[in-house]
Homo-oligomer: A and B are copies of this chain.
Amino acid sequence: MADSGNCYKVRLCCAQLGITLARRPVNILAGESRTAEFLALNPNGRIPLLQLPDGRLLAESNAMLGYLAAQSSLLPSDRFERALVHQWLFFEQYSHERFIATNRYWLHILGDAEFYAEQIKANEAPGYAALDVMEAVLAKSPFIAVGTYSIADIALYAYTHVAHEGGFDLTDYANIRAWLNRVEAEPGHIPMSA
């Protein structure tokens, strides 16, 4: 799904690692991730879904990043640094994506601010809390998990750089904005529209 941040993470990671992806569109708005055919591939009915050349299937965008980046500079080989990268991948899914990406889904993808008004409002404080955590960490470090660019930056960039589409204003988040620029300057960066 072209404008899903979770799908974009995988495209961005592959672009930077020189891995060729064949994309198959899945229109979740038309229920295509909940058909019997799709559920046979991913019982959790979510996209993206990664199929390896030998047919094996992997779900969960951040698990895909770990798989694709294994033995690359995007995932440190040091045991503790690797754990820190995973710490931020879990932060992304639990404390960031489910508020920021969800509001973007309702506002930008579905475009139904009225129907979801109450839930959108409820997601604002925890969404900004996640941005506050990032802002504090990025005051001390150029990248989010370790001193160098990693899949944790890819994962958090995906929905942070379009947070405004979920109604989140980054004006007061100077460290996050500088980090977005650093991520975009990394070799092989591609935009979500690519």
Contacts A93-B90, A94-B94, A133-B43 given: A52-B80 contact, CB under 8 Å?
yes
Tell me how far the C-beta of A69 lies from the nearest C-beta in chain B, rounded to whole angstroms. 10
What's the Cα separation between A117 and B59 when bound, in Å?
32
Q: Which residues of B contact A94 (CB under 8 A)?
A: 60, 93-94, 97-98
Copies per complex of this chain:
2
A161 at the interface (CB under 8 A from B): no
- CB pair A80–B98 under 8 Å, yes or no, is no
Interface residues on A, range: 20 to 34
Q: CB < 8 Å: which of B66, B83, B98 contacts A67?
A: B83
Contacts A79-B70, A86-B66, A133-B43 given: A60-B98 contact, CB under 8 Å?
no
What's the Cα separation between A98 and B66 when bound, in Å?
22
A64 at the interface (CB under 8 A from B): yes
Chain B residue at smallest Cβ distance from A84: B58
What's the Cα separation between A87 and B63 when bound, in Å?
5
Contacts A43-B136, A44-B133, A133-B43 given: A67-B80 contact, CB under 8 Å?
yes
Q: Which residues of B contact A79 (CB under 8 A)?
A: 67, 70
A23 at the interface (CB under 8 A from B): no
Q: Which residues of B contact A80 (CB under 8 A)?
A: 52, 56, 58, 67
A→B interface (CB under 8 Å): 43-44, 46, 52, 56, 58-60, 62-64, 66-67, 70, 79-80, 82-84, 86-87, 89-91, 93-95, 97-98, 133, 136-137
